[in-house]
Structure 1
Amino acid sequence: MLQIIEISGDNIIATRASGDLSEMDIEKVHPIIHAILDKGLNVRWYFEMENFTGWDFPGLWEDLKMDTAHAKDYEKIAMVGEKKWQDWIAQFMKPFTNAEINYFSLEDRKTAKQWIKK
């Protein structure tokens, strides 16, 4: 499940992922991305993972399509998670985007939120 959470900023998407992400979860973010791009801004994404287990295959495919279609539109991505493998996800994403990507532990949420706003 992907939940949209609140963080202030004209170009920030903030989400919390738990369980498996589906294609429908990923599609929730498309209108937000396009609203930011329509303002002429690059996207900053705060992506928090708590009890996150991954993607189902259609969800993974949709996520990869979105990442490659918008590779140049991302400015920063804060990956916030609880497991070491989630740091691996942050590293895996780097070839798919021009964004600066940083991994933070759940204990460092506050730092991640400050970083995504700078």
Structure 2
Amino acid sequence: MGLICIDELTEDDLERMHRLIHDRVTLNSSPGLVLGLTQFVGQKTPSAMLEDFRIDKAHANDFRRVAAIGERRWM
């Protein structure tokens, strides 16, 4: 599965992303994940950062492999 993050992500953006990840992981046990971060700026608010943390915690072991494409600061 692939996700492209552009500009600043809001809490709503991350909640939609979390639902998408959950649905895909349910359909395909241990999929691979590619993150496109070349245009990513960061999370817009502290609540968005918290939602990002929730995604990381909930799905830490759900992916077979993860590849991130972007600037060194996001690795």
Aligned residues: 74
| Identical-pair percentage | 24
What RMSD in Å do the two structures reach over aligned CA positions? Answer: 1.8
- Shift in Å, 1:67: 0.9
- Shift in Å, 1:66: 1.3
The two structures have a TM-score, normalised by structure 2, of: 0.77
1:13-24, aligned counterparts within 5 Å? 14-24=2-12
More contact order relative to length (CA 8 Å, sep ≥ 6): 2
SS at match of 2:52: helix
In structure 1, give the amino acid aligned to 2:50: W
- Shift in Å, 1:49: 1.5
Alignment check: 8 A CA contact 1:37 1:43 kept: yes
Extract unaligned runs of 5+ from structure 1: 1-11, 91-118
The two structures have a TM-score, normalised by structure 1, of: 0.53
Extract unaligned runs of 5+ from structure 2: none
Match of 1:47 in 2: 35
